[in-house]
């Protein structure tokens, strides 16, 4: 694993903990590092100092023993010599052993009650001209500093004393324990103080996080109370200014949407009224005029004996009949009277029949939950126009063979679904193609009714249009 990946994993791990935990970790880490560092330094310095003192004590005790043993060796008073080294060991708690050698290297007196260890003789030697010589010896009890001092320049023998490091280790361990205890106590105090400080520091940040989450849920009434005039206080004031600006912008946007909705609603209502007026005029005036024209042409055909005039009159009568049929179709498309008289299901059934004839499609229509109670006239008109626009798009652009239309009322909502097996399209580019402009009208009507439009389509897989609006 590369160094960059290791750093990324470490940073991800560190970034996953809270700010409070990070601050507590930093404080605790600093206290521990400082305490352990001081402990190690003090332990090393104390060990060096006490060891030097032990070496000086070893040389001093051994030289004192050598000086006092000179006369006893010369008069060959071995008992007094033994008493001397015993007294030396008793008066110095660090002395592990003491013994006197004659010039030939024979032991004159020693403090080993169970017998003198022969290997100890060669462990340390000193020349007659040397002041003293000290060497460390590793024993089962630890390090023993063995010091040899020549007696009367070596002519009377050698005095050797061994001082143990036990007292040094005990003193160093005691000081180390005290330092570690102090470190633990300081760590506890530091963690408590850090916890209090982090609570003070992170509480406004946590409040800011909660307020930000509330703003994310579109609650723009959140305001923070600055705790102090520091950076966090400035952040709280900036957040308050931001929420005020967002609330003002949201209010302005809502007002614009309301005005836009009222404008579009008014435009659609005016459009429907104009459609109704034009359809009524086509039905009442234009249709009656064309019917009168056809009756007059029939009368002319019966009254005129000329075959040419009769043939011409029949042609004109056929044109008038075709025009009358087109006027009827146009009137039905503009505003089907059955929608006002019999309701939405009957109007859709009639329009589906017309689409079957006009586009040659196989259309299945299913209506559920609308037989017992009619919907609001505005809602009926909007749903009729939505289905009308969807079927018109299918007939003109989808190149489909079968279409299914479902209109269902349930749970206080009306669901309109139009599915076809045509060529389909990319919904992301629906607003870019001219043949998709009808989808804007569908979406516009659905949103004005407080509903939503969902389009599911893929090239070559057909299209499904889902419209869901509240039932009124």
Average pLDDT over residues 375-383: 83
* The two three-digit tokens of residue 430, written as one number: 């629906």
Q: Is 0.75 surpassed by the pTM of this model?
A: no
Task: State yes or no: pLDDT of 416 exceeds 90.
Answer: yes
pLDDT in tens, 138-158: 888 888 999 999 988 888 889
Return the pLDDT at 233: 77
Q: How many CB atoms lie within 10 A of CB 455?
A: 17
Domains and CATH numbers, the chain: 18-176 (3.30.450.20), 339-472 (3.30.565.10)
Query: Are the C-beta atoms of residues 380 and 344 closer than 8 Å to each other?
Result: yes
Query: What percent of the chain has a predicted confidence (pLDDT) above 70?
Result: 88
Q: Which of 1-10, 212-221, 314-323, 335-344 has the lowest mean pLDDT?
A: 1-10
Return the pLDDT at 429: 67
- 415, β-bridge pairs: 408, 468
Q: Which of 163-172, 355-364, 439-448 has the lowest mean pLDDT?
A: 439-448
Instruction: State the helix-helix crossing angle for 287-303 and 307-334, rounded to 10 degrees.
Output: 170
Task: State yes or no: pLDDT of 435 exceeds 50.
Answer: no
Average pLDDT over residues 409-425: 90
Return the pLDDT at 16: 59
Task: State yes or no: pLDDT of 420 exceeds 90.
Answer: yes
Task: State yes or no: pLDDT of 405 exceeds 80.
Answer: yes
Average pLDDT, the chain: 82
Return the pLDDT at 331: 66
Return the pLDDT at 449: 79
Task: State yes or no: pLDDT of 432 exceeds 50.
Answer: no
From the number of C-beta atoms within 10 Å of its C-beta (0-12, 13-18, 19+), residue 354 rates as middle
267 vs 14: which has the higher pLDDT: 267
Q: Which residue has the tokens 């749903």?
A: 383
Task: State yes or no: pLDDT of 414 exceeds 50.
Answer: yes
Average pLDDT over residues 363-368: 91
431 vs 353: which has the higher pLDDT: 353
Average pLDDT over residues 343-371: 87
303 vs 417: which has the higher pLDDT: 417
Instruction: Let me know how long the chain is.
Output: 472
289 vs 167: which has the higher pLDDT: 167
Return the pLDDT at 292: 75
pLDDT in tens, 180-228: 898 888 888 888 887 887 777 777 777 777 888 887 777 777 787 776 6
Return the pLDDT at 436: 54
Return the pLDDT at 5: 67
pLDDT band at 49 (very low <50, low <70, confident <90, very high): very high
Average pLDDT over residues 328-348: 74
pLDDT band at 283 (very low <50, low <70, confident <90, very high): low
4 vs 196: which has the higher pLDDT: 196
The full 3-state SS of the chain, as one line of letters, equals CCHHHHHHHHHHHHHCCCHHHHHHHHHHHHHHHHHHHHHHHHHHHHHHHHHHHHHHHHHHHHHHHHHHHHHHHHCCCHHHHHHHHHHHHHHCCCEEEEEEECCCCCEEEECCCCCCCHHHHHHCCCCCCCCCEEEEEEECCEEEEEEEEEECCCCCEEEEEEEECHHHHHHHHHHHHHHHHHHHHHHHHHHHHHHHHHHHHHHHHHHHHHHHHHHHCCCCCCCCCCCCCCHHHHHHHHHHHHHHHHHHHHHHHHHHHHHHHHHHHHHHHHHHHHHHHHHHHHHHHHHHHHHHHHHHHHHHHHHCCCHHHHHHHHHHHHHHHHHHHHHHHHHHHHCCHHHHHCCHHHHHHHHHHHHHHHHCCEEEEEEECCCCCCCCHHHHHHHHHHHHHHHHHHHHHHCCCEEEEEEEEECCEEEEEEEECCCCCCHHHCCCCHHHHHHHHHHHHHHHCCCEEEEEECCCCCEEEEEEEECC
pLDDT band at 418 (very low <50, low <70, confident <90, very high): very high
Return the pLDDT at 100: 92
């Amino acid at each position: 694993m590369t160094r960059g990946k290791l750093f990324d994993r470490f940073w991800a791990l560190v970034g996953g903990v809270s700010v409070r935990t990070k601050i507590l970790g930093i404080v605790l880490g600093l206290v521990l590092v400082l305490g352990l560092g001081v402990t190690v330094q003090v332990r090393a310095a104390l060990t060096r100092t006490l060891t030097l003192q032990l070496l000086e004590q070893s040389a001093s005790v051994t030289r004192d023993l050598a000086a006092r043993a000179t006369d006893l060796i010369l008069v060959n008073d071995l008992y007094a010599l033994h008493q001397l080294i015993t007294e030396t060991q008793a008066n110095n708690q660090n002395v592990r052993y003491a013994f006197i050698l004659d010039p030939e290297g024979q032991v004159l007196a020693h403090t080993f009650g169970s017998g003198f260890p022969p290997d100890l003789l060669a462990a340390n030697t000193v020349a007659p001209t040397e002041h003293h010589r000290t060497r460390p010896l590793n024993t089962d009890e630890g390090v023993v500093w063995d010091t040899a001092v020549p007696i009367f320049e070596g002519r009377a023998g050698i005095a050797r004393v061994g001082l143990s490091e036990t007292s040094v280790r005990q003193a160093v361990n005691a000081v180390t324990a005290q330092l570690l205890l102090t470190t633990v106590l300081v760590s506890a105090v530091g963690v408590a103080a850090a916890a209090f400080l982090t609570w003070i520091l992170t509480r406004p940040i946590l409040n800011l996080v909660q307020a930000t989450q509330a703003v994310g849920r579109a609650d723009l009434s959140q305001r923070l109370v600055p705790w102090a005039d520091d950076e966090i206080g400035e952040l709280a004031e900036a957040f308050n200014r931001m929420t005020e600006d967002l609330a003002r912008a949201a209010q302005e946007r809502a007002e614009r949407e309301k005005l836009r909705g009222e404008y579009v609603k008014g435009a659609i209502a005016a459009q429907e009224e104009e459609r109704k007026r034009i359809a009524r005029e086509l039905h009442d005036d234009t249709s009656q005029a064309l019917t009168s024209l056809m009756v007059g042409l029939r009368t002319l055909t019966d009254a005129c004996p000329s075959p040419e005039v009769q043939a011409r009159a029949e042609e004109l009568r056929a044109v008038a009949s075709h025009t009358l049929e087109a006027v009827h179709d146009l009137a039905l498309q503009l505003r089907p009277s059955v929608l006002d008289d019999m309701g939405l299901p009957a109007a859709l059934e009639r329009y589906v029949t017309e689409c079957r004839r006009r586009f040659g499609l196989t259309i299945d229509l299913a209506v559920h939950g609308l037989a017992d109670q009619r919907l609001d006239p505005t809602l009926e008109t909007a749903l009729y126009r939505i289905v009308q626009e969807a079927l018109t798009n299918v007939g003109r652009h989808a190149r489909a063979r079968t279409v299914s239309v479902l209109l269902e009322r349930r749970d206080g909502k009306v669901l309109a679904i139009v599915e076809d097996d045509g060529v389909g399209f990319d919904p992301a580019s629906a607003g870019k193609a001219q043949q998709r402009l009808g989808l804007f009208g569908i979406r516009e009507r659905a949103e004005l009714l407080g509903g939503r439009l969902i389009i599911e389509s893929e090239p070559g897989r057909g299209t499904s249009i889902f419209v869901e609006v509240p039932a009124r």
